[in-house]
Structure 1
Amino acid sequence: MNRTFSREARQLARTAAHWLALLDSGRASAEDLQRLQHWRAANAQHEQIWQRAEGLRQRFQDVPPTLAMASLDRPEANRRTLLKRGLALALVLPAGWLLGQQVPLQALRADLRTAVGERRGVRLADGSLLQLNTATAVNLDLAHQRLTLVEGEIALSVSRAQALHVDLGMARVSIGQAQVCLRRDAEQCRIAVLQGAVQVQPRQGPALALQLGDQLTIGADGSGAMDRFDPRQPDWRDGVLSVNNQPLGQFLRELARYRPGWLRWQPTLESLKVTGTFRLDDTDRVLALLAASLPVAVQARSRYWVTLVAREKTV
C-alpha cells in the first residue's frame, strides 16, 4: 500500500470521526447536516465509510483510544485492514476532532459524562446518589466535599452531616440532607429542591435559602427568578418525560435534548398542547405518538434530521 493512500484513508477516518461526534453531541445545526449530506454524496467511498461507521459504532465503543490511534498510524499490508482500523478510530475517538467546535473541552475531560440520550446513576463514596441526565458532564472533588456541574442536568440525593458543595458556575449550592435537581447551560442555571433545604450563593448577590418546592433560576448576567418547581420535572430519573397541557414547542425543545442531530418544527405548531408520559429511550416513538394524536406529520431526511410540519387536511 502506498503512502498516498495511507494519508487519504486517515483523512477519511478523521472526517467520519468529526461527523459522528458532531451528531452524537446533539449540537449539529441545519447547515452542519447539509454539509454532511454533501460530503456523503460527493464520493461513493465517503458513503461507504459512513455506513460502516454507523453500523460498527457499538462494536468498537470499548476499544481503548490509545490502541485505536496506534492501529491507525501503523503501516498495513492491505486497504481493508486500514479502513477497518481507521473506522475504529472514528468510532472511539470522535471527540478528539471536535476541539474548537461545539463541544467544550471541559465537558470532554470531565470525570463523569453522559452522551446525548444517555442517563446514568452513580453512588458516591459517602452514600449520596448522583444521577446524570442526557449530555451531562460532572467533575468530582469529594476530598473537599465539592462537585462541579460543567453542563447538563443532575439529581442529587444527599444525606450527610457535612454539606456537599456543587458549583454551577453562576452559583454554588450547599446540600446537606436534601434532594435537588440542578441544571446548567451557557445561559443560566436552575436549582430545584425536591426534599429538605439548601443554601445557594449566587456569583452576584446575597446568599439564599431554598426550601422544599422552591426553584431558583439564575442567568449568566446575574439576574434571578424564584418559582415553584413542577413535580413532573425530575421524571427523567425514571426515563420518562411527563407533561400536562404543555405547548408543543416547549415539549419539543426538551425532547430535542435526548436526540442526536437536528429536530425542528414549523412555528405554526408551537402552541399546540401536549399531555402524556413519554419514554425517553425511544424518541422516534415519541414523535410517532405526537403524529398520531396531533395534526402534525413527521418528515425525516435521516435519523439526525427530522422536521415536524402541519398535517394536510384530507377532504
Structure 2
Amino acid sequence: MNREVARTAAQWLALLESGAATERDHAALQHWRDSHPQHEHTWQKAQALRQRFSVLPQALAMASLDRPQVGRRALLKRALGVAALVPTAWLISRQLPIDSWRADLHTATGERRRLPLAEGGSLQLNTATAVDVDPAQRRITLVDGELALNVPGAHAMTLRTRYGEVRVSQAEVCVRQLAAGCRVSVLKGRVQVRDVNGQLATLQDGQQAPLSAGGLGARVPFDVLQLGWRDGVLTAQNQALGDFLRELARYRPGVLRWAPNLETLRVTGSFRLDDTDRILSLLASSLGFEVQARTRYWVTLT
C-alpha cells in the first residue's frame, strides 16, 4: 500500500469519525477518492475494517445498561473512541511498519540526525527515517525514509534498499525511499547501482534516477533544492503551494489540510524546518490565507 495514500486515508477517516467534517470536507474526500483508483481502493479497505469493528461500541454499551447514566455515557464515549481509532491505527501501522521501530537507528517525524562514520564519512537521516547498520560489513540498510551518505575514502560502503544496492566510494549520495521504489541522487563522485535483478549501472555526479523493481530508470539532473533538508532548510523556487505543503507535511506530526483553491498558489523562499508553525504563519501572511488550528496536530489552511 502506498504509505502516503494510507496516511491520507487515515486522516480522512479520523476526521469523519470526529463528527466535525463539513459538507466541503465530504466533497474534498470524494474528490480525493475519485482522483486515483488506489485512493478508492484504500478507502474501501478502511471502510470495511471500520464496519468489522462497528459492533464494539454496541457490545460495550449493552454491558453497561445497568449502570448509572453518567457512567454509561462515559463508557459509551470511550467505546466510540476505541472503535474510531482501531481502523485508523491499522492504517497508520501499515505506513509505519514495525521494522522501522526495530531498526538500529531511526528519527521521529520532524527529527533529523547526523552521525560521523569512520574515515571522515557521515550519515544523515531525514525525518521519519529508519536504518540498520552493519559496521563489520560496511553496510547500511535503508528501512524507510531518506538519508544522505558521504564516503570520502576509497573503502566502499554498501547502501541497501528494498529495490537494490548502491555502492558508495569517494562519493556522496542521497537516497529517498518512495512508495514503489526509491530515488537515488549523486551529490559528488560516482556510485555503482545494482538492481534487484542483478543488473549494474553507474550514476555520475549531479545525476538522479529512480530505482524500482523494474531496475534503474532514466537519469536526469537533480534539483539541489531537494537536498536542503541536510542543512535544516526547505526551499521552494516558484513551486506550487500544494506540492510545497505535501513536502512540509513530512516534517509535521498530525494532520495538515488545505482548501483546494490554495493548491496552485506559488511559493518562493527558504524556510527553517525547526519551526514548521512559523513556516505556515509566514506563508499565510504572504499568500493571504488563514491558519485554523484545532490543536497543534490538526491544522487546516483556508
TM value normalised by structure 1? 0.67
Q: How many residues align?
A: 236
CA distance in structure 2 between the aligned counterparts of 1:258 and 1:159, rounded to whole angstroms:
29
Q: What's the counterpart of residue 62 of structure 2?
A: none
Q: What's the counterpart of residue 117 of structure 1?
A: 110
Look up the SS of the partner of 2:218 in the other structure.
strand
Displacement of 1:149 after TM fit? 0.5
> Aligned AA for 1:285?
R
Q: What's the counterpart of residue 245 of structure 1?
A: 238
CA distance in structure 2 between the aligned counterparts of 1:127 and 1:37, rounded to whole angstroms:
54
**Contact persistence 2:281–2:291 (CA under 8 A):** yes
Q: What's the counterpart of residue 308 of structure 1?
A: 301
Change (3 A) 1:245 1:99: closer
Match of 1:197 among 185, 190, 201: 190
CA distance in structure 2 between the aligned counterparts of 1:271 and 1:256, rounded to whole angstroms:
17
CA distance in structure 2 between the aligned counterparts of 1:294 and 1:157, rounded to whole angstroms:
38
Displacement of 1:187 after TM fit? 2.1
Q: What's the counterpart of residue 30 of structure 1?
A: 12
Q: Deviations over 1:156-213 (max 9, x none)?
A: 1112222111011112100000111111133220111111111111224732111111
Match of 2:143 among 133, 150, 153: 150
> Aligned AA for 1:207?
L
Q: What's the counterpart of residue 136 of structure 1?
A: 129
Change (3 A) 1:26 1:112: farther
**Contact persistence 1:27–1:261 (CA under 8 A):** no
**Contact persistence 1:158–1:179 (CA under 8 A):** yes
Q: Equivalent pairs: percent with the same residue?
A: 53
Match of 2:100 among 90, 107, 122: 107
Change (3 A) 1:34 1:262: same
1:286 aligns with 2:279: yes
- Unmatched segments (≥5 aa) in structure 1: 1-24, 48-95, 310-315
CA distance in structure 1 between the aligned counterparts of 2:290 and 2:92, rounded to whole angstroms:
37
Look up the SS of the partner of 2:253 in the other structure.
coil
Displacement of 1:116 after TM fit? 0.1
CA distance in structure 1 between the aligned counterparts of 2:243 and 2:144, rounded to whole angstroms:
20
Q: What's the counterpart of residue 264 of structure 2?
A: 271
Displacement of 1:267 after TM fit? 2.4
Q: What's the counterpart of residue 166 of structure 1?
A: 159
Change (3 A) 1:110 1:98: farther
- Unmatched segments (≥5 aa) in structure 2: 1-6, 21-56, 58-72, 79-88
Displacement of 1:266 after TM fit? 2.2
**Contact persistence 1:111–1:137 (CA under 8 A):** yes
CA distance in structure 2 between the aligned counterparts of 1:236 and 1:111, rounded to whole angstroms:
22
> Aligned AA for 2:173?
V
**Contact persistence 2:195–2:216 (CA under 8 A):** no
**Contact persistence 1:139–1:147 (CA under 8 A):** yes
CA distance in structure 2 between the aligned counterparts of 1:28 and 1:283, rounded to whole angstroms:
22
1:297 aligns with 2:263: no
Look up the SS of the partner of 1:275 in the other structure.
strand
CA distance in structure 1 between the aligned counterparts of 2:166 and 2:9, rounded to whole angstroms:
28
Change (3 A) 1:27 1:303: farther
Change (3 A) 1:306 1:230: same
CA distance in structure 2 between the aligned counterparts of 1:37 and 1:107, rounded to whole angstroms:
32
1:35-50 aligned within 5 A: 35=17, 43=74
Change (3 A) 1:209 1:307: same
Look up the SS of the partner of 1:117 in the other structure.
coil
> Aligned AA for 1:31?
L
**Contact persistence 1:164–1:174 (CA under 8 A):** yes
Q: What's the counterpart of residue 50 of structure 2?
A: none
**Contact persistence 1:111–1:138 (CA under 8 A):** yes
* Higher mean C-alpha displacement, 277-286 vs 98-107: 98-107
Q: What's the counterpart of residue 258 of structure 1?
A: 251
**Relative contact order (alpha carbons < 8 A, sep ≥ 6): 1 or 2 greater?**
1
- CA RMSD across the alignment: 3.0
